[in-house]
Amino acid sequence: MFSTNYFTSILLIAFFFYSSNLISQRRVKESAKTEVSAPLKTTPKLIVGIVVDQMRYDYLTRFWNHFGTGGFKRLVNEGFNCKNNHFNYSPTSTGPGHASVYTGTTPSTHGIIGNNWYDKEIDEPVYCASDDSYATVGAISNAGNMSPHRLTVTTITDQLRLHTQMKGKVVAIALKDRGAVLPGGHTANAAYWFLGGGEGKWISSTYYMENLPRWVLDYNSSKVVEKYKKPWNTIEDITSYKESGPDNNNYEGLFTGESTPVFPHDLPGLWDNNSKYDLLKVTPFGNSITTDFVIEALKGEQLGTDSITDFLAISFSSTDYVGHWFGVNSKEIQDTYIRLDRDLERILKYLDTKVGAGEYTVFLTADHGAINVPAYLKDQKIPAGYINRTEIQSELGEFIKYKYGSADLIKNYSNNQLFLDHKIIQNLDLNPKEVQEALASELLSYQVFERVYTAYQMQNNEYTTGIPYIIQNGYNMKRSGDIFMVPKPGIIDYSKTGSTHGSAQIYDTHTPLIFYGKGIKPGSTALRTEIPDIAPTIATLLGIAFPNGTTGKPITQILE
């Protein structure tokens, strides 16, 4: 059979591998030793996470010439710009967006499958952040009955809290409750959001605290928000706004009491008929109010002033309200981004003096993108249009009645998903997989949908690219529906004015991602990065554990 020589050589080879393995193990140990103190040296005093609600990537480039040197340009020029950054799941909406940025994973794992969804277990629609076991702090209202209890995994902010034995502070701030509650994770010291209507103040939930801290009470009673109850005019000469469409057009919503959607928007005159302080949310002043409050928080909580890293999670919500109301091509959205640039500059300058230039790290991203108003696209001869939901529901109802003799088979239609009534399916002795397939092929024959998938497909395949990959990352086995409709590019389920989002299409997934500051190597990449990569990147920078559901991976090019 084999000669002894053969065995000797095998032994020799084995020994060679064994010893070289020892050498390389030693090398790893040595380099680990030298690296032990390295992460501590680069640990920033403060991480500032900035989510700009509904920010498309191309807003950076479209409005670039109007930006000053201290806001977006400072972040891009001195930081690391990921130019090809995407959401890798749908629905692309605010709740899932904030959850995914902070958990490093997608709805399939973190459980936030929409802003609102139909909860199969309790047979009722639910809101992603609501929790009636907690009450409002700071007002008589139920707007503070919130908690992160529907988020099933930890966030990067939770991991920082755990790593520092709860000594690193986490504060989350946004006009929208979900824009603060989800980034704060389960262990935040505080999350604050803005109560509109006749109130105009920052509130929280008993999940975090029994009473608002002094600095918040002082801010609320100072009534500084009053100063934004003024006409909304463009901050620069409107004739210089050449990167957006004409001010007066048919693609924009009107505030109650306005006859044309043009500047100046007379906020004091519109005040009473547009829910008072809620009106400010639909203007860039909502972002300025957020900025004012962020600066008060930095002061009041002394964030980033000791050797233990703190985390400030900011979300700018007004960009989303303005986009929904006026659309992505409006003068209003252009003005909102030019003003946001000034607000960013204000925050960065304050961080320089309070925390110290070079002592903090910032990331800026979005929670989803947005589509150009389909009515506008159509007028430019681009395929686009609207879903007529009533028509779809009645057509589908007819089909089900004809095929199964019962019209009640569908429990819920939301987020481009259908939830089926599995009790009825059982009672009729139907095979759920066959029902899903029959409905999917019926829906595929409808003009507005380009693809339809079933839960059965999601559970039995592993998709790695394209639209099915995006649908699957949004598919949560326990919470999601039975059928997933994908509208054609350009087609939305929304009013004929303003922009929206939520789809698996590229205009909703392509968003900015910029890292800046301590531990970040300046540069840029056109390689694809994905939203769940953010949390593990920050975790690597800090040398702390990844959030417990992480599916993204650190973006290594940016780390020093």
Q: How many CB atoms lie within 10 A of CB 521?
A: 12
Q: Which stretch binds Zn ion (CB under 5 A): 25-33, 34-42, 319-327, 339-347?
A: 319-327
Give 73's contacts (C-beta < 8 A, 6+ positions apart). 64, 67, 341
Q: How far is the CB of 94 from Zn ion (least distance, A)?
A: 6
Nearer to Zn ion, 179 or 304 (CB): 179
Q: Which residues, including other chains, have CB under 8 Å from residue 136's CB and lie 6 or more apart?
A: 142, 143, 144, 145, 203, 204, 205, 206
Please identify every residue annotated as catalytic: 94
Q: CB of residue 501 vs Zn ion: minimum separation in angstroms?
A: 6
The CA distance from 279 to 276, in Å, is 6
Is the bond preceding 264 in cis, omega lying within 30 degrees of 0? yes
Closer Cβ to Zn ion, 340 or 544, answer by number: 340
Task: Choose the binding region for Zn ion from 288-296, 317-325, 353-361, 435-443 (rule: CB under 5 A).
Answer: 317-325
Distance in Å, CB of 333 to Zn ion, minimum = 13
Segment interacting with Zn ion (CB under 5 A) among 196-204, 217-225, 314-322, 459-467: 314-322
- We find the least distance from the C-beta atom of residue 508 to Zn ion, in angstroms, to be 10
Both tokens of 174, joined, read: 């946004």
Shortest approach of Zn ion to residue 51 CB, angstroms? 12
DSSP letter assigned to residue 546: P
The DSSP 8-state label assigned to residue 185 in this structure reads -
Q: What angle do CA 27, 32, 35 make, to 5 degrees?
A: 130
Site membership for Zn ion, residue 177 (CB under 5 A): no
Between 158 and 320, CB nearer to Zn ion: 320
In the block, residue with structure tokens 């066959």: 434
Length of the chain: 560
Compute how many residues bind Zn ion; rule: CB under 5 A: 1
Per CB under 5 A, which region of 34-42, 316-324, 354-362, 457-465 contacts Zn ion?
Answer: 316-324
Nearer to Zn ion, 320 or 482 (CB): 320
Q: Say how far residue 216 (Cα) sits from the centre of its chain.
A: 26
Least gap, CB of 367 to Zn ion (angstroms) = 8
Residue 292 makes contact with Zn ion by CB under 5 A: no
Nearest alpha carbon to residue 372 among 52, 51, 62 = 62
Residue nearest to Zn ion (CB): 320
Q: Which stretch binds Zn ion (CB under 5 A): 74-82, 296-304, 315-323, 508-516?
A: 315-323
Q: Is the dihedral of CA 517, 522, 526, 532 positive or negative?
A: negative
Which of residues 97 and 549 has its CB atom nearest to Zn ion in the complex?
97
**Residues ≥6 apart with Cβ < 8 Å to 340:** 52, 71, 284, 287, 316, 319
Q: Are 310 and 302 in contact (CB under 8 A)?
A: no
Q: In the 8-state DSSP scheme, what is residue 310?
A: E
- Least distance (Å) from Zn ion to the CB of residue 504? 16
Helix axes 534-542, 156-163, angle to 10 degrees: 20
400 φψ region: left (φ > 0), alpha (ψ -120 to 50), beta (else): alpha
Task: Tell me: does residue 320 bind Zn ion (CB under 5 A).
Answer: yes
Residues in contact with Zn ion by the rule CB under 5 A: 320
